[in-house]
Structure 1
Amino acid sequence: MRMSFLSCAALAAAASLAHAAPDPVRIGMIEGLSGPFANAGAAVVRNLQLAIDNINAHGGVRLQDGRHPLMLLTFDNKQTVDESLIGLRQYADQKVSFIVQGNSSAVAAALVDGVEKHNQRMPAQRMLFLNYSAVDPSLTNEKCSFWHFRFDANSDMRMHALTEVIKNDASARRVFLIGQDYSFGQHLARVARAQLAQKRKDIAIVGDELHPIGKIKDFSPYAAKIRASGADTVITGNWGNDLTLLVKAARETGLPVKFYTFYGNGLGAPAAIGEAGVGKVRAVAEWHPNAGLPGSASDAFYQAFRKRYPRPEDDYVHLRMHLMIDMLARAIEKAGTADATSVARALEGAAVDNGFHQAVMRAADHQLLQPLYVSVMQKTADGAVRFDNEGSGYGFKTERYLSLNETALPTSCRMTRP
């Protein structure tokens, strides 16, 4: 008996469905992809996509029904809270379980609140917020949430590392604080004062300036204030274009100061300050390209990134973002599900060791504990460093390494768990 065309088609369709690839695990990014901080958002996309591709190259995450690829979705929040919450609602409507963001602590605080409210309303469709850069300490202290995990050192930890170096810098006598006028910049000024008062009582704070975020096109008036103060050292948490333009103004006005920065090792800053920054500009980070020895796992990681993104302007590597994606994938496999609650529990206490960096997610507050490097700007032509940043001819050399135990600070988190 001959099978009908419809019967054959039905069997073919059923066979096709049986062998269809499992649904991807979607990761919804909410970040500024336009405007003054578009370069910072683009750097995040490059890092996350490479980390995801590395997971997918091995088949994705293994669950009971097979291997599921990871998929990155992006939403341009135009660096505003309102747009970020619109993005969060869109991802909720699409049933995206994992939200990632970092370039703004104000946005992160709003997302923590938004995810909390969503999870209360929709317990069967919970979401998890993974934060790769928003460093306001309150997010893992008084505002901590079971649904939020931070993979960057918070600003108190970063400032602790910087002030450990300043503590032994005898030439630092008069310090000028400058930052962006929002929660992160405001907190940074307070903690810098407190830590310097504890570690170097002889240091004078000769300036404390906050400026609108992302709106200043010419920082020369601020450079003039720094010069007039008689400062020999500047501490700043500025990032993105606000940092590039600040150090450019310092160079153009010939400011004879040292810069202790959170993010001075990329996004145009080394090229902007040039020769004037050699031995004077310092940055703090969980890792930098010259952190390892020749032939080390650290070198291999960096060279793989440069092979994927060979253009000098794309050379800004965030190790913490790769750790975040790796730890998420491992947590999904450990939980045996992409359910947000189960994955959150699997992330608590999770440890990672990639051969050159060790970290652990503290269960008490969901803060990743990891080493930090304070590095100083050097010229590659002098042979002091092997790798430069963004083709600038300037790279960074480790000046101080702080172990995981040295960077861990206490938490005041009192977490409510489901």
Structure 2
Amino acid sequence: MNISRRRLLNSLTAALCAPAAAFAQAPQGGPIKIALIEGLSGPFANAGEAVYRNLLWAVERVNARGGVKLPEAAGGHRPLQLDRYDNKGQNEEALSALRSAIDDGAQIVMQGNSSAVAAALIDAINKNNEREPDKQVIFLNYSAVDPILTNEKCSFWHFRFDAHADMRMAALMQVIKDDKSLRRVYLIGQDYSFGQAVLREARRQLGVQRPDVQIVGDELHPMGRIKDFMPYLTKIKSSGAQAVITGNWGNDLTLLVKAAKEVGFDGKFYTFYGNALGAPAAIGEAGVGKVVAVADWLPNVQGSSSEAFYQAFRQRFPKPADDYVQMRMQLMMQALAQAIEKAGTTHPVAVANQLERARVSLGGQTGAMRALDHQFQQPLVVGVMERQGTPGVKFDVEGSGYGFRVIRQISAAQAEQPTTCRMARPS
């Protein structure tokens, strides 16, 4: 690395890692409360804790620069405060947590690990904000990707910062359509709204992009309750499938790929989340060149800004097991801080009106909110699992020795999908 590039990386990393203590010079008003309503116990607790680390780092970086700058009448500089509410992965627990968060003074709600929970929160927030205008809240969604949430169920109060399932599938299809050796594919997913949406869209897009590919299996399984995927992988192997398409996440993905390794399934996995939360370590050597993942960003995206961003996160969370950084969550917090400052108030209607116009950049990644349906528009990347140290794989995942080499980059314009949203807005 030449001296000028090293200096640039060092300066970028220092800026991203500015200590939270720097905020102590600036605060004036009380904290702006953010409620994280997520599964922090149960079968997907690891995913919930990974989210918390990402959001905590994002909050720390906003607070390190002095918090959110507001007029004196609105409290002047105010820190962000991230409060945890465990929904245990259940709708009713999430609704109970929402009530508690509102009673505790939260004006921002964040959730993402489960589209079913997100749908329940959208309905509850719509009702709350209509009935209790003095207790309105905004919902920022970082990973609940059922397309219905920004289509039929779109809401003025809901903003999604992840690419939805149809967008992700379209990105994967750009790779699948070029795989001329692929003739037979197996579809498997979690039996809830998101998993169903993934398989439905996989069937549709295969029919359009690769009508020559035969779907030899199409199966949904209970979410978070399967401890042994061996029977499923035995069926997949015996079907003659050359590849699996899945939207599985968390332990349902990890156990799925572990079973594939155990039964000797030699096909590819086209995944939404194969790059994180234990999957690369579980697959091991068998996944090299075979596990494909789509994401908004990957650690091995080329560029000094991207590298500095990733290095800063690893400095903040140095344990290999904690290495699960999500660019979109950082952009989401940047967008929130920007919207509050431009609104000059924390009033949810004013902040939502500014969030509709949000455009933010970090680590070389730029995204913008689409006002029509509150679906964030950003570039996507597709990567394939390789050994760390091979060309294009400087960084591994969770200390596994395996990372993802970027094989396709999709611009925000290419990733954009139409919407059926007919949004009702406050008068």
TM-score of Structure 1 vs Structure 2, range by shorter chain: over 0.9
State the partner residue of 1:91.
101
Return the offset for 1:143. Answer: 0.5
Q: Kindly provide the CA deviation profile for residues 73-127 of structure 1, in whole angstroms up to 9, marking residues without a partner as x.
A: 0101000000000001111112211000000000000000000000011112211
Partner of 2:267: 257
Q: Which of 146, 169, 181 is residue 179 of structure 2 equivalent to? A: 169
Confirm or deny that 1:51 pairs with 2:61.
no
1:402 corresponding residue in structure 2: 410
- The answer to whether residue 310 in structure 2 is matched with residue 302 in structure 1 is yes
Q: CA offsets, 1:279-301, max 9 Å, x none?
A: 100000000000023xx110000
- Which amino acid is the alignment partner of residue 355 of structure 2? L
Matched AA of 1:318: Q
Question: Counterparts of 2:251 and 2:55 in 1: how far apart (Å)?
Answer: 21
1:277 counterpart letter in structure 2: G
Partner of 2:169: 159
Distance 1:20 1:245 in 2: 46
C-alpha distance in structure 2 between counterparts of 1:244 and 1:348, whole Å: 36
Query: Match for 2:323: what amino acid?
Result: D
Equivalent in the alignment of 2:71: 64
- Aligned to 2:277, what secondary structure does the other structure show? coil
Deviations 1:135-184 (A, max 9, x none): 00000001100000000000000000001110011121101001000000
From 108, 118, 121, the counterpart of 1:111: 121
The residue type paired with residue 180 of structure 2 is A
More divergent stretch after superposition (327-336 vs 345-354): 345-354
TM-score normalised to structure 1 length: 0.94
What secondary structure, in the 3-state scheme, does the structure 1 residue paired with 2:397 have?
Answer: coil
1:355 CA displacement:
4.9
Q: Distance in 1 between matches of 2:321 and 2:139?
A: 29
Q: 1:386 maps to what in 2?
A: 394
Answer yes or no: is the 8 Å Cα contact 2:392–2:406 preserved in 1.
no
Gaps of 5+ in 1: 1-18
The within-5 A match list for 1:14-413 is 21-65=28-72, 66-293=76-303, 296-413=304-421
SS of residue matched to 1:177:
strand
CA distance in 2, matches of 1:200, 1:172: 9
Give 5+ residue unaligned stretches, structure 2: 1-25
Greater shift, 53-62 or 382-391, is seen at: 382-391
Q: CA RMSD in A?
A: 1.1
Aligned length: 398
Q: Deviations over 1:209-237 (max 9, x none)?
A: 11110011111111101011100010000
- Structure 1 counterpart of 2:403, which letter? G
Corresponding residue SS for 1:61: coil
Q: Which segment drifts farther, 42-51 or 118-127?
A: 118-127
SS at match of 1:133: coil
Offset of 1:350 from its aligned partner? 1.5
Moved over 3 A (4+): 381-384
Instruction: From the CA coordinates, give the structure whose radius of gyration is larger.
Output: 1
Change (3 A) 1:390 1:79: same
Offset of 1:42 from its aligned partner?
Answer: 0.4
Name the SS for the 2:383 alignment partner.
Answer: strand
Q: CA–CA distance in 1 between the matches of 2:402 and 2:330?
A: 24
Query: What SS does structure 2 have at the residue aligned with 1:386?
Result: coil
Partner of 2:385, secondary structure, is strand
Following the alignment from structure 1 to structure 2, what is the Cα–Cα distance between the partners of residues 44 and 388? 19
Q: SS state of the match for residue 235, structure 1?
A: strand
Cα offset for 1:354? 2.2
Q: Indicate the SS of the match to 1:96.
A: coil
Change in 2 beyond 3 A, CA 1:20/1:198: closer
1:43-102 Cα deviation digits (max 9, x unpaired): 000000000000000110001121000000010100000000000111111221100000
